[in-house]
Structure 1
């Protein structure tokens, strides 16, 4: 980690609140010629260039990113690192896609060398796309999570991950038992949770692949380690929901399966939540749980259209997830573009400031990390991304027509991808430069 005080001159957009709560004008601050100052991995100053420069004392290094835009690093609230090698697999919906593509690929992670290779590729891709924090699925193999954390620790990343728990309705080569799943998870928690910038997530894949006994074990782990996360899937696909009903006929619904076993709490993150009842939305809100909105995978697998406005009406925390490999890009820029289209298909709008909020501060709030990351505020960790508005010939030409910051942001989200990311910084250190 760099010990040098460094000042970054650039246009700076600083998200400070949810636009749906405070209005667009009060949700962000914009410094067209701004200065962001970082020392020992922490933001010490941010504001207008001339004013902020005058307030600095002592020696510092100046890095000039004029004609660029600095914003907080992106927060991906749902992604599968073992699915990196099977992204863009053709022609199936959720359950068949798992059987035909996902499970065979995940078997390969019993080999720690292969797992370590993919972990490096995966974390490189996150950096290339400006993502500095992610909530990550491993596989059922303990070593898949061990090597992931080793690589994330080496890079000083703020990452959350966990070993998948599955003891039924999956191939024999990918199942564990309630007992060994509990023991493996316990050992990983004690080794990696709160180790540097790392956190652990207890990770049942989804209700159909865990017996009631295993779900009880998940609840037990959450009681024993109250600061860990719980990460799973919920109501992604209508066929999946019917399957859950047949497996748990005594429960009132899909969410009630998890609730019955004690899996809802303030660090529980449920991916998708496309098909939820009002009662389920209310229960998510009451428990402080969060939903990861995964637009690219919902479209790719034909799962349905997530209603962001409805979820927020119930006060549910919502982050944004790429859901690689059902999601077709590591880029949260592209994910924002797909989110806009999902809202359009429901005759609703997603403002670009709101979209950027979901991918940064909104994601941090969903993970209860907004005191540390998600916005460029004094005292927070210096995870940030430098965006290039003129990354392609088309973007450069289109930006010449843009008259407002909001229009520029919308162009970035509509046309942007990894080429839009000029540099990514993790805890004040350069992690990627184009």
Structure 2
């Protein structure tokens, strides 16, 4: 096997540089949501593009797609006989929310206790910097070809999700590193091998032309809110397991959370029970979930003594990675249409869907990455999954039917992505950079055999 040289020493030497780059990138409030300054998104794009050029990606261009932020796109040609690796990440971030709830200003990156705090530090700017670190560890001349795709509107929703299928020639690679994931816990190198699918369902009920006095008519007048709540309670059994026929759930055999660990990560109130039964991994990764994410009903602060004539709920449905999300959505619709609480018919409609993903894990890229991550962390690599969805993963898979797709990253379960006080551990950032750098050499060696 070709020697990879002193990659650990090179990455360790790059740590101050990578830390500084991450701080610079986090300081840019690159929020691509409507109403936020687009010039900040452009600043982040230009920063990433410039640093990739300094890292050996000389063939750089911008993909300007309709109604989305510019996509950083670049290539390093593959040496003769070597494979090509696609590196994905995104430079945009979620809004910061109520800044008074942050312990440090969200766009003033703060280094504390071996971590960088700030919006986007974990999701996903640390992974963008890890790509840069891996390339610089090889002096900008990695032993594999490189295609870099760093988008700027992942958090809000981007047309890039549909672009690879129409332009597959731009995304051809033997292995695709989708670095928008992370470790089940800090210090445990983790490959994400499955993503649940997602679907939206809306259920509404109208029973009266207008509110009527609850004293005069309550008890007989059909209460829309009461009917809606009665319908929603049928979606789960007494233990909190999803009770909708046709939604798939399988055994999960990868890494898992303990009950105490899960309670700590999610910030559960003391004594609060978990929903459902069985291993947590089955509940949050390999089984369905139905969450009421919105409710149209009179607010308590201004509630009148009246029977409610209309109510509506928005449901977010998560389905098994291998189940068609449209099939899962229809199962929920069929269930609710049959309920008819108190004889009242509900209007149930379906919304957007996003497919799940299951990775094939028996190819040379997975073998190389497992060895690379074990070297970087000095610990056994585990498989995990995500309850969330990354729609671009399936788009890249469709454009590369023969490629292996690997999901990893510098995040960990306590990094507070999308929440207040988001942070990334610098040790995880450097380990991802080292794992990528090791992977380039290991994968090149395996593909030459």
How does the TM-score come out when normalised to structure 2? 0.27
More helix per residue: 1 or 2? 1
Q: Computing the radius of gyration over CA atoms, which structure comes out larger, 1 or 2?
A: 2
Q: Greater relative contact order: 1 or 2 (C-alpha under 8 angstroms, separation 6 or more)? A: 2
